[in-house]
Amino acid sequence: MNWSGVIDRYRSFLPVSDRTPVVTLNEGNTPLLAAPRLGEAVGSGLQVYLKCEGFNPTGSFKDRGMTLAISKALEAKARAVICASTGNTSASAAAYAARAGLRAFVLVPRGGIALGKLSQAAIHGAEVLMVDGSFDQALTLVKEIAERHPVTLVNSINPFRLEGQKTAAFEVVDQLGRAPDYHLIPVGNAGNISAYWQGYREYHLAKLGQARPKMVGFQAAGAAPIYENRVIHEPKTIATAIKIGNPANWARATAALEESGGWIEVVTDEEILHAYRLLASGEGIFMEPASAAAVAGLLKMAKQGRFEPGSTLVLTLTGHGLKDPDTALEHSSRPVTVPPKLDALLSALSL
Ligand SMILES: *Cc1c(COP(=O)(O)O)cnc(C)c1O
């Protein structure tokens, strides 16, 4: 099938009309991969699938929401968009704004953004501002600016973002032929878990999925406001994409957890890094640390026997590993330097 993006594919479920100029980079249609090694590692006959959202055009699931947010901004005759970002939102906003011919302003926390993400925002021509503060502070600032000035906010409080992101749940059902029993997902600003739940609910109502999964969210131990039920003023974690202390979609996410019969848990940075390496070396999938939070959560929850034996689980892997090459190099073995001689090379290889 010729794929031309999530708006085209799921148009009847989305708030668009013939007058909406569709801005797309053919996002979506990402692979749902079986993960037999992970399945074996967790046992109990669990069937594990990975929804590889890092394979979207800018390398994260943010593109699903951005195609809609930017298309609607263009329809409303906006000239500029703005967002606060831990990186992937800015990369996506920059790319789609470039495609649409809009100006893009992005605010990122200084020192808190992975190299790949920053390079994307820069090369797509966004106007990047480093805020000497946290993501949460940057978000408060852009909200104020968007209220008073002619610039459209494209953070996930923009309702079109979640509308676009819910298409990932549609795809899971289409690819699996049914809804999974559990859906595991990392939680930062809590937009994506809310969007998936909305998607599963809507597909269920449209009678396209017979069941709905339990939504299971994972926060990093040092950045777990929903789990701890309090705002975290100085969130800390190696997984910068979920380093958020006051999630914008907190209430929606809590509702998704309750309605679905799911729950929220925490994973430590150590558990995240272990899962990060396991995913890359055991399944051949290189995703960024925040994505590995779902895998770490799977391992932890399975050990505690939290999943019904024989269940089908889908994990969202939110962003590509190349986004954050520094972390990958820091947590894998160093290359060995050898002189250009056969014997030296052979002794280094220990075949
Ligand atoms: C944005 C993002 C998250 C967090 O998603 P929320 O919708 O903010 O909860 C997780 N992982 C990656 C890679 C992201 O870019």
DSSP string, 10-23: TGGGSS--TTS---
Please give the Cα distance from 294 to 275 (Å, whole number): 9
Least confident range from 53-57, 193-197, 233-237, 294-298: namely: 233-237
How confident is the model over 320-349, as a mean pLDDT?
93
Report angle CA 276, 281, 284 to the nearest 5 degrees: 95
pLDDT tens digits for range 32-45: 999 999 999 999 99
The answer to whether the CB of 312 falls within 8 A of the CB of 42 is: no
Give yes or no for residue 218 having a pLDDT over 80: yes
Please give the Cα distance from 272 to 277 (Å, whole number): 9
pLDDT-above-70 percentage for the chain: 100
How confident is the model over 202-218, as a mean pLDDT?
92
CA distances from 4 to 25, 92, 97 (A): 8, 17, 18
Q: What is the pLDDT of residue 134?
A: 86
Ligand 1 pocket test target in 90, 120, 189 with most atoms within 8 Å of CB? 189
pLDDT tens digits for range 168-180: 999 999 999 999 9
Q: What is the pLDDT of residue 1?
A: 67
Q: How far is CA 303 from the centre of its chain?
A: 25
Q: What is the pLDDT of residue 135?
A: 87
Tell which atom from ligand 1 comes closest to the C-alpha of 319: 13
| Ligand 1 centroid, distance to 44 Cα (angstroms) | 29
Q: What is the pLDDT of residue 113?
A: 86
Closest residue to atom 13 of ligand 1, CA basis: 319
How confident is the model over 295-302, as a mean pLDDT?
98
| Ligand 1 centroid, distance to 209 Cα (angstroms) | 25
| Ligand 1 centroid, distance to 242 Cα (angstroms) | 6
Q: Which residues line ligand 1 (CB under 6 A)?
A: 60, 62, 88, 156, 186-192, 241-242, 288, 290-291, 318-319
Please give the Cα distance from 154 to 103 (Å, whole number): 12
Give yes or no for residue 145 having a pLDDT over 90: yes
| Ligand 1 centroid, distance to 193 Cα (angstroms) | 9
| Ligand 1 centroid, distance to 344 Cα (angstroms) | 45
Ligand 1 pocket test target in 227, 242, 316 with most atoms within 8 Å of CB? 242
| Ligand 1 centroid, distance to 86 Cα (angstroms) | 9
Closest residue to atom 8 of ligand 1, CA basis: 189
pLDDT tens digits for range 71-99: 999 999 999 999 999 899 999 999 999 99
| Ligand 1 centroid, distance to 345 Cα (angstroms) | 42
The answer to whether the CB of 292 falls within 8 A of the CB of 273 is: yes
| Local confidence band at 27 (pLDDT 50, 70, 90 cut-offs) | very high
| Ligand 1 centroid, distance to 276 Cα (angstroms) | 16
CA distances from 117 to 103, 232, 241, 309 (A): 18, 24, 10, 39
Q: What is the pLDDT of residue 17?
A: 97
The answer to whether the CB of 81 falls within 8 A of the CB of 67 is: no
Supply the mean pLDDT for the chain: 96
pLDDT tens digits for range 259-296: 999 999 999 999 999 999 999 999 999 999 999 999 99
Ligand 1 pocket test target in 88, 106, 135, 184 with most atoms within 8 Å of CB? 88
Neighbours of 147 (CB within 10 A): 9
Q: What is the pLDDT of residue 209?
A: 73
Give yes or no for residue 140 having a pLDDT over 90: yes
Q: What is the pLDDT of residue 309?
A: 97
Tell which atom from ligand 1 comes closest to the C-alpha of 190: 9
Closest residue to atom 14 of ligand 1, CA basis: 241
pLDDT tens digits for range 219-252: 999 999 999 999 999 999 999 999 999 999 999 9
Gyration radius from the chain CA atoms: 20
| Ligand 1 centroid, distance to 60 Cα (angstroms) | 8
Tell which atom from ligand 1 comes closest to the C-alpha of 192: 7
Please list, in sequence order, all residues whose beta carbon lies within 8 angstroms of the beta carbon of residue 29, skipping any fewer than 6 positions away.
3, 9, 171
